[in-house]
Structure 1
Amino acid sequence: MHSPAFDKLCEQIARLKHQATQFDQSNLFAKNRYMQAQPSLFDRGVFTTKSMKLADYVSEIEDELKSLPPAEHRHAYQYALERITQQVQAVFNVIKSTPVWAKENKYSFKPKTKPQVYKQAVQKMMQSSHELYDELKQNHEFERRLVLMIEERKLKLDAASAAKAAEINQEILALHARLGRCRKAISATEDKIQQVEKQQLR
């Protein structure tokens, strides 16, 4: 017999699937210069799927749910549930961020569901400031690794041949682009933390 937490998670995933499909139908990412440069929407630590379609990630969540270990194996079962919850929150996070991207690109994403229903579903899944701080910590770690990778390649430039130097410069440019996206994600997470903490103070 499944726990109430499991049943609630199933409901959230069903809602998420519906919203992810609507989100994909809007083709919002096709109109967004920043997102066009992304090979995948999420870090490999969160999803193994590589796609620009949210519904593909929800399919991975559903597969994870089907392959849950038996509830008797308490620790493994709890760990798997927590991972799925993290994935659900990650997808909701993209949907929540939509108005920011839409504003930047002068394009409005209008879900077919009633705005109030949509807003309530998003609010229910609002990440706590604790979870957002974890996300911020991960982004800062990613930023640190990218800076190190750039420095390593710069050191290789001195001893490189002309052809190899050109290749290394291309790698440095690509890393700088990733670093820019990472720092943008850090700023977005910091903004979300402020919003959540303001709501908690009300």
Structure 2
Amino acid sequence: MNRAQLIDKLKEQLAQLEQEVLRHDAALAPQQRKLIQDVERFNDGLFIQSGAQLAPCIGQIAKDIKQLEQRLALGLSAATIVASCERIQDRFTAVKRALTTTGINLKSATQARQSARNRSHQRQKQAHNSSGFDWIAAGVMQNSHQLYEELNKHLNWARKIESKIAQLETGLDNCHSADKIKLQNEILLMHRRLGKCRQAISYIEDRIQAFERPYQSQNR
């Protein structure tokens, strides 16, 4: 095979690969591209590329073929030409392998993300159980809608307790001295309940922020 035939064969091979890559990239859904956008698909030194789409590789192989064509025209040593050809073939092989492993990368990334979510939920559950608010159902901590319902419930309780305290304190001024100690103790109990309720409100508000933060960052 002469020089011209070698270059023509490589260009033909690249054109066929380009069509496969274009079909591959077009078939990827936006969420799939996002899922493995930071995944390194190739060994260092083969391509400057990461993520799902493989189209950037075609331009880099084309550049190698152009460089080989120039080296052939300059009559460089056989060893140099062979090294260039081997590098081009290594790149062809790597892209073809990547075409067949995208599904594996997607599945692996999906499982890794789910595992991270499970670990996060487990940490939240453990933190919840040791927070002193384990009387709030742990399942509530995993659902944004239920968190807001729980928050509204505690806000209503706080308002009712505040109203009860105001009522008791009004009655304190008008009650007989014999009943004051009992009434004062009841007011103290109501203040304790109010304090616990406010702590729970702050805790639930923190859980809402922690729950929504990942979704806010994904939508930026």
Compute the TM-score of the two structures, normalised by the length of structure 1.
0.43
Question: Whose relative contact order is higher, 1 or 2, with alpha carbons under 8 Å and at least 6 apart?
Answer: 1
Compute the TM-score of the two structures, normalised by the length of structure 2.
0.39
Larger Rg: 2
